[in-house]
Structure 1
Amino acid sequence: MPRSLVPRPRLVRVNGRSMEPTLHEGDLLVTLWGARVRAGDVAVVRLPDDSDGRPRPLSVKRVSGPDPDAGERWWLDSDNPREGVTSFEVGSITDADVVGVVVGRLHPRPRWLRGRHTPDRS
Structure 2
Amino acid sequence: MQEQVDERGQELDRERRGLLRIGLAEVYNPSMVPTLNPGDQLVVQYGAAVRPGDVVVLRHPFRQDLLIVKRAVERRAGGWWVMGDNPLVENDSREFGAVPEDFVVARAWVRLRRPPEAGQRSVGTLLSWLVSALRPVRSGSPTDTLSRLSRRLRAR
TM-score calculated relative to the size of structure 1: 0.81
The structure carrying a bigger helix percent of its residues is 2
Partner of 2:36: 23
Tell me how far apart the structure 1 counterparts of residues 28 and 93 of structure 2 sit (CA, whole Å): 19
Q: Secondary structure at the match of 2:66?
A: coil
Partner of 2:74: 65
Distance 1:80 1:101, change over 3 A: same
Query: Where in structure 2 are the equivalents of 1:74-113 lying within 5 Å?
Result: 74-108=80-114, 109-113=133-137
CA RMSD of aligned residues (A): 2.4
Equivalent position amino acid for 2:52 in 1: A
Tell me how far apart the structure 2 counterparts of residues 62 and 56 of structure 1 sit (CA, whole Å): 19
Please say if residues 19 and 78 of structure 1, whose CA atoms lie closer than 8 Å, have aligned partners that are also in contact: yes
Q: Structure 1 runs of 4+ off > 4 angstroms?
A: none
Equivalent position amino acid for 1:12 in 2: A
Tell me how far apart the structure 2 counterparts of residues 84 and 58 of structure 1 sit (CA, whole Å): 16
Tell me how far apart the structure 2 counterparts of residues 107 and 20 of structure 1 sit (CA, whole Å): 13
The structure carrying a bigger strand percent of its residues is 1
Partner of 2:5: none
Query: Cα offset for 1:48?
Result: 1.1
How many pairs were matched up? 114
Partner of 1:10: 23
Equivalent position amino acid for 2:44 in 1: T
Partner of 1:45: 58
**Greater RCO, CA 8 A, separation 6+:** 1
Percent identity reads 37
Structure 1's unaligned 5+ residue stretches are none
Query: Cα offset for 1:90?
Result: 0.6
TM-score calculated relative to the size of structure 2: 0.65
